[in-house]
Structure 1
């Protein structure tokens, strides 16, 4: 059994003070780093995604054309490639990350599966190459990119666990709904204290 940890979009623009800051985002970054320090051998792979949007276009309508995004399909400018906002939050320990995935280059992208690795491959290929069958999911935001990534992992036949104390969402209600949806789809909802339990 090969196990991976998905770290979804723990970036400056999605944490406090960022363009789309999520309450508790910085704490999630720190808790993920603590998990990796306390359980250095739990995961065979640690795969982190980042929104990595183009600066010179609206990324397929993802960036609002006006000053009034709907915060469902259109958003303020965020996570532009090469900017501070697109970088990982400072509390996230990058040395523990095995593979980096960039997504949303010129188009909307919520799931880690829509991104590419630095080597140009897909996440699906990467997981298959390493025989990954189990995936734990942490990061931001529960009701958008965490949700989409976990649903794709389930659809691709992986056993998925959501680390509920290592995620934070845009809206409490939609985050609660997302966790319920994920549980119904087959994901286990656990806390990081249980990561070594089978």
Structure 2
């Protein structure tokens, strides 16, 4: 409401145990240093963006990468377990920006 888009969603890395995605010697292609651990500071939204989420300017948040590497929001799911593609489809969204 009052935005340029009908829906606004966010994705969030939410690593619990992503296996070989974390490495002490990352190659930055398939492995990375520890980051965005669920429940840790790095797993939170940036302080300048968080108010948009808590203030209702974001319609849904999709968590990705819990137990594996994930580079796309389309690999994530919201708190109800709904995949991003399914969420968009249910709302008749045919294009994303």
Q: TM over 0.5: same fold?
A: yes
Q: Which residue of 2 aligns with 1:70?
A: 27
Q: Report Cα offsets for 1:102-140 as digits up to 9, x if no partner.
A: 00011011100100111111111101100012211xxxx
Matched, 1:88 2:45: yes
1:44-55 pair list within 5 angstroms: 44-54=6-16
After the TM superposition, list the runs of 4 or more consecutive aligned residues in structure 1 that deviate by more than 6 angstroms.
Answer: none
- Of 47, 60, 74, the match for 1:99: 60
Q: Specify which structure has the higher proportion of strand.
A: 1
Give the alignment's Cα RMSD to 1 decimal.
Answer: 1.4
Structure 1: how far apart are the matches of 2:3 and 2:90? 19
Q: Report Cα offsets for 1:34-73 as digits up to 9, x if no partner.
A: xxxxx9331111110000001xx4x131001xx2211111
Q: Specify which structure has the higher proportion of helix.
A: 1
Matched, 1:60 2:22: no
Q: Which residue of 2 aligns with 1:163?
A: none
Give the TM-score of the pair, scaled to structure 2. Answer: 0.88
